[in-house]
Amino acid sequence: MIHSLFLINCSGDIFLEKHWKSVVSQSVCDYFFEAQEKAIDVENVPPVISTPHHYLISIYRDKIFFVSVIQTEVPPLFVIEFLHRVADTFQDYFGECSETAIKDNVVIVYELLEEMLDNGFPLATESNILKELIKPPTILRSVVNSITGSSNVGDTLPTGQLSNIPWRRAGVKYTNNEAYFDVIEEIDAIIDKSGSTVFAEIQGVIDSCIKLSGMPDLSLSFMNPRLLDDVSFHPCIRFKRWESERVLSFIPPDGNFRLISYRVSSQNLVAIPVYVKHMISFKENTSSGRFDVTIGPKQNMGKTVEGVVMTVHMPKAVLNMNLTATQGSYTFDPVTKVLTWDVGKITPQKLPNLKGIVNLQSGAPKPEENPSLNIQFKIQQLAISGLKVNRLDMYGEKYKPFKGSSFVSDGEQEPKSLSSQNFT
Amino acid sequence: GLPSVAFHLCGSSQDLNEDLKQMLESSKDSAKLDAMKRIVGMIAKGKNASELFPAVVKNVASKNIEIKKLVYVYLMRYAEEQQDLALLSISTFQRALKDPNQLIRASALRVLSSIRVPIIVPIMMLAIKEASSDLSPYVRKNAAHAIQKLYSLDPDQKEMLIEVIEKLLKDRSTLVAGSVVMAFEEVCPDRIDLIHKNYRKLCNLLVDVEEWGQVVIIHMLTRYARTQFVSPWKVMVDEYSENNFYESDEEQKEKDQKLKTTYTMDPDHRLLLRNTKPLLQSRNAAVVMAVAQLYWHLAPKSEAGIVSKSLVRLLRSNREVQYIVLQNIATMSIQRKGMFEPYLKSFYVRSTDPTMIKTLKLEILTNLANEANISTLLREFQTYVKSQDKQFAAATIQAIGRCATNITEVTDTCLNGLVCLLSNRDEIVVAESVVVIKKLLQTQPAHHGEIIKHMAKLLDNITVPVARASILWLIGEYCERVPKIAPDVLRKTAKSFTNEDDLVKLQILNLGAKLYLTNSKQTKLLTQYVLNLGKYDQSYDIRDRTRFIRQLIVPNEKSGALSKYAKKIFLAQKPAPLLESPFKDRDHFQLGTLSHTLNSRATGYLELSDWPEVAPDPSVRNVDVAKEWTGILGKPKKEKPTEKFYSESEEEEDESASTSSSGKCLESTAFSLPGKLCLQNCLVHK
């Protein structure tokens, strides 16, 4: 399936290559570079490229292109999903998936790639198993290794791979047994000029950090499971229990993992917890315009809205912006024309405001469309959908675990101009 | 000077290699390990390290597990180039294949089969055969992988390898299933007969197989089902009659009558649909897509809709996943709009989407447009036209054109909207509108003199060649509707002829010819002037065209009978261009495949066959229960891994219900244990 992999940085250097079958020359990447040149930006490089003898399937992650070489028919998503899994694993091992991290740990990277794929077919992709095979680097270990000559490669053999619970390693022991669940929800909304919602939905995930000894068998139930309209599961969850009882029943992997992701049905009306007042105008025949935006909270059940960041893609004709923020700080990148305003926390008593002058290129026509505003925010301890955890039970082990859950709501709003109205 | 520099560089790499060789021969493991790490670093960068082969291969039997692993990495990379030396390592692997530890056996088999040295083919074959009956399912899994490697090294081994595949297909371990089906697909995808007896088992194991194996098995079973079951679609034919336009109505009716009375779904067909459905909730996009394509190609049309929600969910994923999923939805939405209509708003474009994603969403929105939602959609499209991304704005104008032709109620609205865009400040928008208006007018040229006049005026300002050419063509084609303007346009363009793009020059010539035929009194001289300019043009295309036109329209003794028909030739009724989706008919490729994405047959693409008219004998899938029993009982205890870990389902249909599944036991005992704790103190730890 996957023949070879090339890692390429933004300046077009191939800084790592790995072949699982016979060697494919680096020159195959020229087809990729050609496609990259044609694309307006990195985001628009087509993920699938056909060349005379091979097919190239690539992903772009953390400023690195992962370009895989394929020779025969394969579901493209299979390869894409696998490449992302590789990037996730690097992230997991090195704390970041960057060119430097990969170059610094090239031996571990190679060992990982060797274990993850055999003859182009995925072999071990679960982090629990990989960590038993190849230990992640730590400063202490690398010092010890260099003195004693001992290795990163596990000398005990992984048991998970041999069992039917391939995601969990055996013999896990903790003195403090803990289980944490983070419910993170994201509202995704499009709002028109008059402030009415064109489209809104809530996407949520439950990320878990489970540090429990032995083979715990957990079941997590919700007060209102019907809210979850469409759910996708980590492979550890038993489908049948969910289908019959709406209970999440599973033997968890050890450590951090994403338990479920879900969508809340659009029938449940979504109340958007912030509002925006805005006035952006460009005067005809002058090379300037006015910009005035205020953000305020609404209906958030007494919780503070924090981590507010507004990003605006300004029209190309904008040269620079001269603004004053009553709160937080703003930056304007004259190359990408992106205005970022880091607002921070919203206090209802004093609403954050950003206003000032927009300078346009002289002679440039007045931008015909006002930009859309993207607003991101966070609300702690509140799941915007109203999802509530009922209880967590543990079977199979006798200790009492420490359990915790947290709720965070993230928002992403994209108001935009509609038809003849000038702005949202 | 240069030569000395070159020499120096060369020397240094020599020195480096000498250093590494010494380290590899050192007695200390730490030095060896260090050397191997540096060598792997070289390989990773694509540097040649083949010279070190003899020094490296000596360490293949090292006791240090990391050194050994890195030597393996090296061997797999260079053995093909250094076959003789590679043979030195073989005995080590042969010994390891007999190791009591299953992981050592497995890794020995992996490396042995990855060394691409033809001379060891018999050794590999023997190793694979032995490993395929190993007690450890993990070793058997590796044997399945080795099958493909040996096959690509020596295709002559095919027959023997098929025997191994046949044996491994019978394997009951979830660990082996995906890998052996993968081998089946590469070595002998046409041997459908090998699947019969294993079909039900594969269906039942599916939920418990790892994600990657699920994808491969689902694709294979889709192909299998299309050869073994009869179509569930004919019954529903009334709803989707457009798919059967090539059959005459009466024939169709007769057929329906017959089928309606006889069709019942084969229970095995149903089994496959039922057992793949829960996988729509997999976190792996490839698995979800695989199930979606299975439902598209196999399920009754009324059931295929259940996949939409999951596909829409995938749109929240990264851009690469979105790209592939949107392509597949585009294909589906042409044939069965109903599947995605409820999710219309999920395809609304965001300003932050990359252009390729925007264009695909636009494609889908256009496919979903109907009388009910068109007004909402057109309003949305108006926003898109204003986008700063001009390529996307142009695509939107094309989309408006398509909506206008598909939905007759809005043709005029769309046309007016497009005419408004003609006064847009952006030239690309105007040009694209001209091109689309041209196509629209051609489909209904009834009374659009006004629009043509409007466009003639634009000619003074527009510079984009395609747009200029389109306007000229329009005026020429409908010159009788604008008798006053047309000759004037010719006059103006005759002046600018020499500075025009080739595309525009050709249309000026066309316009001249058409006017000469309809209104020669006013335009004879002008046309001749243009023809003279064309005669001496730099481009031979234009010179050619000029000669051709002159012969046709200006009769002389040399011109034959054709010139009599000049008017009929130039002003014939031309068929209107069809504005259709580039995704039309793409579903003759199995959805979710590389071939579908590229819209061309990829190497190794396996065709999905048409449903058989009559189902082949279903009893081939029956499994002899008694025989299975003794088989299971005969195996040692270790052989029964904790299968059926969480799929308590469907076992009643499979004789495997009788195999003790310890997973189930574990669960039932678990319930009796105490230790329930309420989760009351919700803790924030973020």
> Given this model, what pLDDT does residue B671 score?
33
Q: How confident is the model at residue B558 (pLDDT cuts 50, 70, 90)?
A: low
User: How distant is the Cα of A365 from the closest Cα of chain B, in angstroms?
Assistant: 9
Residue whose pair of structure tokens reads 């950003």 in the numeric block: A354
Closest partner residue to A395 (CB to CB) among B44, B46, B673 is B673
Residue whose pair of structure tokens reads 């002829």 in the numeric block: B497
Look at residue B351 and tell me whether its pLDDT is greater than 60.
yes
For chain A, positions 209-228, list CB contacts with chain B under 8 A.
217
Mutation to test the A interface, candidates B40, B48, B145, B283, most A Cβ within 10 Å:
B283
Sign of the CA dihedral with A78 first, then A80, A82, and A85 last? negative
User: How distant is the Cα of A369 from the closest Cα of chain B, in angstroms?
Assistant: 6
Mark yes or no for CB contact A163/B641 under 8 Å. Answer: yes
CA atoms within 13 A on the CB side of A287: 10
Mark yes or no for CB contact A232/B148 under 8 Å. Answer: no
> Residue B391: which of B354, B434, B366 has the closest Cα?
B354
Closest partner residue to A121 (CB to CB) among B182, B604, B675 is B182
Lowest mean pLDDT among A284-288, B145-149, B451-455, B484-488: A284-288
Q: How confident is the model at residue B19 (pLDDT cuts 50, 70, 90)?
A: confident
User: How distant is the Cα of B342 from the closest Cα of chain A, in angstroms?
Assistant: 11
Rounded average pLDDT over B56-74: 85
Look at residue B238 and tell me whether its pLDDT is greater than 70.
no
User: How distant is the Cα of B395 from the closest Cα of chain A, in angstroms?
Assistant: 15
Burial classification of residue B460, based on how many CB atoms lie within 10 Å of its CB (0-12 exposed, 13-18 middle, 19 or more buried): exposed
Mark yes or no for CB contact B44/A109 under 8 Å. Answer: yes
Closest alpha carbon within chain B to A58: B320
Closest partner residue to A403 (CB to CB) among B28, B137, B679 is B679
Q: Which residues of A touch B592 (CB under 8 A)?
A: 75, 77
Q: Give me the residues of chain A with pLDDT under 70, please.
A: 138-164, 193-195, 265-270, 284-285, 299-302, 364-370, 405-424
> Is A151 touching B (CB cutoff 8 A)?
yes
Please provide the average confidence, as pLDDT, over all residues in chain B.
81
Mutation to test the B interface, candidates A58, A81, A190, most B Cβ within 10 Å:
A81
User: How distant is the Cα of B536 from the closest Cα of chain A, in angstroms?
Assistant: 36
Q: How confident is the model at residue B288 (pLDDT cuts 50, 70, 90)?
A: very high
Specify which of A18-27, B240-249, B407-416 reaches the highest per-range mean pLDDT. Answer: A18-27
User: How distant is the Cα of B149 from the closest Cα of chain A, in angstroms?
Assistant: 7
> Given this model, what pLDDT does residue B60 score?
84
- Residue B291 CA to residue A402 CA, distance in Å, equals 39
Query: How do strand A288-297 and strand A274-282 relate by DSSP bridges?
Result: antiparallel
Look at residue B279 and tell me whether its pLDDT is greater than 80.
yes
- Residue B300 CA to residue B319 CA, distance in Å, equals 31
- Residue B45 CA to residue B12 CA, distance in Å, equals 18
More confident residue, B33 or B654: B33
For chain A, positions 373-402, list CB contacts with chain B under 8 A.
374, 380-381, 389-398, 400-401
Render the burial of B471-483: b for 16+ CB within 10 Å, e for the rest: bbbbbbbbbebbe
> Is A408 touching B (CB cutoff 8 A)?
yes
More confident residue, A277 or B654: A277
- Residue A401 CA to residue A394 CA, distance in Å, equals 9
Closest partner residue to A119 (CB to CB) among B149, B288, B318 is B149
Closest alpha carbon within chain B to A249: B646
Give Cα separations from A53 to A16, B58, B150, B357 (angstroms).
21, 37, 22, 27
Mutation to test the B interface, candidates A25, A56, A129, A164, most B Cβ within 10 Å:
A164
The DSSP secondary-structure symbol of B573 reads: P
Mark yes or no for CB contact B283/A234 under 8 Å. Answer: yes
Mark yes or no for CB contact B210/A391 under 8 Å. Answer: no
Q: Which residues of A touch B102 (CB under 8 A)?
A: 162
Query: Helical H runs in A39-134?
Result: 76-94, 99-104, 106-116, 127-133
Q: Which residues of A touch B677 (CB under 8 A)?
A: 391-394, 400-401, 403
Rounded average pLDDT over B602-620: 88
Q: Which residues of A touch B425 (CB under 8 A)?
A: 365, 368
Structure tokens at B219: 């694709």
Closest partner residue to A230 (CB to CB) among B208, B313, B350 is B313
> Residue A373: which of A329, A309, A322 has the closest Cα?
A309
Q: What is the CA radius of gyration of chain B?
A: 35
Mark yes or no for CB contact A119/B285 under 8 Å. Answer: no
pLDDT tens for B85-109 read: 888 888 888 888 998 888 888 888 9
Query: How do strand A55-61 and strand A14-19 relate by DSSP bridges?
Result: unpaired
Rounded average pLDDT over B291-309: 92
Mark yes or no for CB contact B69/A166 under 8 Å. Answer: no
> Given this model, what pLDDT does residue B271 score?
94
Burial classification of residue B219, based on how many CB atoms lie within 10 Å of its CB (0-12 exposed, 13-18 middle, 19 or more buried): buried
> Given this model, what pLDDT does residue B412 score?
83
> Given this model, what pLDDT does residue B244 score?
47
> Is A156 touching B (CB cutoff 8 A)?
no
> Given this model, what pLDDT does residue B11 score?
47
More confident residue, B3 or B392: B392
| Amino acid of residue B392 | F
Look at residue B368 and tell me whether its pLDDT is greater than 90.
yes
Structure tokens at B308: 């939409």
> Given this model, what pLDDT does residue B655 score?
39
Mark yes or no for CB contact B684/A111 under 8 Å. Answer: no
Q: Which residues of B touch A17 (CB under 8 A)?
A: 44-46
Residues 6+ apart with CB under 8 A from B352: A313, A374, A414
Q: Which residues of A touch B642 (CB under 8 A)?
A: 163-165
Look at residue B384 and tell me whether its pLDDT is greater than 50.
yes
Look at residue B211 and tell me whether its pLDDT is greater than 50.
yes
Phi and psi, residue B684, nearest 5°: -100, 125
Closest alpha carbon within chain B to A220: B679
Over pLDDT 70: what percentage of chain B? 84
Mark yes or no for CB contact B45/A17 under 8 Å. Answer: yes
Rounded average pLDDT over B64-71: 84
User: How distant is the Cα of B285 from the closest Cα of chain A, in angstroms?
Assistant: 7
Other beta carbons within 10 Å of B556: 8
- Residue B351 CA to residue A312 CA, distance in Å, equals 10
Q: What interface predicted TM-score (ipTM) does this complex get? A: 0.86
Mutation to test the A interface, candidates B594, B642, B645, B667, most A Cβ within 10 Å:
B594
User: How distant is the Cα of A106 from the closest Cα of chain B, in angstroms?
Assistant: 6
> Given this model, what pLDDT does residue A159 score?
52
Rounded average pLDDT over B281-304: 93
Closest partner residue to B386 (CB to CB) among A23, A153, A369 is A369
Mark yes or no for CB contact A151/B65 under 8 Å. Answer: yes
Look at residue B450 and tell me whether its pLDDT is greater than 70.
yes
Rounded average pLDDT over B387-416: 86
